[in-house]
Amino acid sequence: MQGAGVDYRYLDIERATGFIGDAQGVTDMLSVLCMTLKTDLPALQGLLHAHDVLAIQKSLHSLKGFLPIFSTQALADQLNSLERLAKAPETPDFPSQCAALLDAIAVLSQEAQNYLAQQAASPGT
Protein backbone atom coordinates (compact mmCIF):
# COMPACT_ATOMS: atom_id res chain seq x y z
CA MET A 1 0.00 0.00 0.00
CA GLN A 2 1.08 3.57 -0.50
CA GLY A 3 0.93 6.55 1.78
CA ALA A 4 2.44 9.94 0.95
CA GLY A 5 4.63 8.42 -1.76
CA VAL A 6 5.96 5.61 0.45
CA ASP A 7 5.19 1.94 -0.04
CA TYR A 8 3.96 0.17 3.09
CA ARG A 9 3.53 -3.54 3.60
CA TYR A 10 0.61 -3.40 6.08
CA LEU A 11 -0.37 0.25 6.57
CA ASP A 12 -3.15 1.36 4.22
CA ILE A 13 -3.60 5.14 4.44
CA GLU A 14 -6.17 5.21 1.64
CA ARG A 15 -8.32 2.69 3.50
CA ALA A 16 -7.93 4.61 6.75
CA THR A 17 -8.92 7.84 5.05
CA GLY A 18 -11.99 6.11 3.64
CA PHE A 19 -13.03 5.03 7.14
CA ILE A 20 -12.10 8.22 8.99
CA GLY A 21 -12.78 10.82 6.32
CA ASP A 22 -9.79 13.18 6.37
CA ALA A 23 -6.01 13.22 6.62
CA GLN A 24 -5.91 14.98 9.99
CA GLY A 25 -8.28 12.41 11.48
CA VAL A 26 -6.06 9.63 10.16
CA THR A 27 -3.00 11.24 11.73
CA ASP A 28 -4.78 11.69 15.05
CA MET A 29 -6.05 8.11 15.11
CA LEU A 30 -2.69 6.69 14.00
CA SER A 31 -1.17 8.30 17.09
CA VAL A 32 -3.68 6.39 19.21
CA LEU A 33 -2.90 3.18 17.31
CA CYS A 34 0.82 3.62 17.97
CA MET A 35 0.29 4.24 21.68
CA THR A 36 -2.00 1.24 21.96
CA LEU A 37 0.33 -1.11 20.12
CA LYS A 38 3.29 0.10 22.18
CA THR A 39 1.69 -1.60 25.20
CA ASP A 40 -0.45 -4.28 23.55
CA LEU A 41 2.28 -5.93 21.46
CA PRO A 42 4.62 -6.70 24.39
CA ALA A 43 1.62 -7.88 26.42
CA LEU A 44 0.51 -10.20 23.62
CA GLN A 45 4.03 -11.54 23.22
CA GLY A 46 4.09 -12.29 26.95
CA LEU A 47 0.74 -14.05 26.71
CA LEU A 48 2.00 -16.13 23.79
CA HIS A 49 5.10 -17.06 25.76
CA ALA A 50 2.85 -18.06 28.69
CA HIS A 51 0.54 -20.03 26.33
CA ASP A 52 -2.46 -18.05 27.62
CA VAL A 53 -4.67 -18.57 24.58
CA LEU A 54 -7.84 -17.25 26.24
CA ALA A 55 -6.18 -13.94 27.09
CA ILE A 56 -4.69 -13.77 23.58
CA GLN A 57 -8.14 -14.30 22.08
CA LYS A 58 -9.58 -11.47 24.19
CA SER A 59 -6.75 -9.13 23.20
CA LEU A 60 -7.08 -10.02 19.53
CA HIS A 61 -10.81 -9.40 19.74
CA SER A 62 -10.21 -5.88 21.02
CA LEU A 63 -7.61 -5.21 18.32
CA LYS A 64 -10.11 -6.43 15.74
CA GLY A 65 -12.24 -3.41 16.59
CA PHE A 66 -9.83 -0.82 15.22
CA LEU A 67 -6.72 -2.31 13.64
CA PRO A 68 -8.50 -3.13 10.33
CA ILE A 69 -9.17 0.59 9.85
CA PHE A 70 -5.47 1.14 9.24
CA SER A 71 -4.27 -2.20 7.92
CA THR A 72 -4.44 -3.92 4.60
CA GLN A 73 -7.34 -6.30 4.10
CA ALA A 74 -4.93 -9.23 4.18
CA LEU A 75 -3.71 -8.31 7.67
CA ALA A 76 -7.28 -7.75 8.85
CA ASP A 77 -8.19 -11.21 7.51
CA GLN A 78 -5.17 -12.73 9.27
CA LEU A 79 -6.26 -11.11 12.54
CA ASN A 80 -9.84 -12.37 12.15
CA SER A 81 -8.67 -15.87 11.29
CA LEU A 82 -6.35 -16.09 14.28
CA GLU A 83 -8.95 -14.70 16.66
CA ARG A 84 -11.32 -17.47 15.54
CA LEU A 85 -8.54 -20.05 15.80
CA ALA A 86 -7.87 -18.96 19.39
CA LYS A 87 -11.34 -20.22 20.28
CA ALA A 88 -10.03 -23.72 19.50
CA PRO A 89 -6.67 -23.54 21.29
CA GLU A 90 -5.80 -27.19 20.73
CA THR A 91 -4.83 -26.24 17.17
CA PRO A 92 -1.14 -27.17 16.98
CA ASP A 93 -0.07 -24.34 14.69
CA PHE A 94 -1.70 -21.61 16.80
CA PRO A 95 1.59 -20.46 18.41
CA SER A 96 3.38 -20.08 15.06
CA GLN A 97 0.41 -18.32 13.46
CA CYS A 98 0.11 -16.02 16.46
CA ALA A 99 3.83 -15.19 16.34
CA ALA A 100 3.56 -14.42 12.62
CA LEU A 101 0.57 -12.13 13.24
CA LEU A 102 2.37 -10.31 16.05
CA ASP A 103 5.37 -9.81 13.77
CA ALA A 104 3.09 -8.34 11.10
CA ILE A 105 1.41 -6.05 13.64
CA ALA A 106 4.86 -4.90 14.79
CA VAL A 107 5.66 -3.97 11.18
CA LEU A 108 2.34 -2.12 10.93
CA SER A 109 3.19 -0.25 14.12
CA GLN A 110 6.59 0.78 12.75
CA GLU A 111 5.02 1.84 9.45
CA ALA A 112 2.48 3.98 11.35
CA GLN A 113 5.28 5.58 13.36
CA ASN A 114 7.22 6.27 10.17
CA TYR A 115 4.15 7.79 8.54
CA LEU A 116 3.57 10.06 11.54
CA ALA A 117 7.22 11.14 11.52
CA GLN A 118 6.97 11.90 7.81
CA GLN A 119 3.81 13.94 8.37
CA ALA A 120 5.46 15.86 11.20
CA ALA A 121 8.45 16.64 8.97
CA SER A 122 6.18 17.83 6.15
CA PRO A 123 3.68 20.30 7.66
CA GLY A 124 0.75 21.10 5.44
CA THR A 125 0.63 17.76 3.62
pLDDT per position as a tens digit, 6-48: 789 999 999 999 999 999 999 999 999 999 999 999 999 999 9
Average pLDDT score over residue span 95-117? 96
Strand 6-7 relative to strand 2-3: parallel, antiparallel, unpaired? Answer: antiparallel
The model's pTM is 0.90
Tell me the CA distances in angstroms from 106 to 5, 44, 86, 92, one per residue in order: 21, 11, 20, 23
Mean pLDDT of the chain: 90
Name the residue type at position 53: V
Q: What pLDDT is stored for residue 35 in this prediction?
A: 95
Tell me: pLDDT of 74 over 80.
yes
Cβ(41)–Cβ(98) below 8 Å: no
What pLDDT, in 10s, does the model give residues 45-63?
999 999 999 999 999 999 9
Tell me: pLDDT of 2 over 60.
no
Q: What pLDDT is stored for residue 1 in this prediction?
A: 53
Average pLDDT score over residue span 69-94? 89
Please give the full DSSP string across 82-109, using - where no structure is assigned: HHHHTTSTT-TTHHHHHHHHHHHHHHHH
Q: What pLDDT is stored for residue 123 in this prediction?
A: 66
Q: What pLDDT is stored for residue 65 in this prediction?
A: 87
For the chain, which domains are there? 9-120 (1.20.120)
Question: 85-98 burial string, b = 16+ CB within 10 Å, else e?
Answer: bbeeeeeeebeeeb
Nearest to 108 by CA among 57, 47, 37: 37
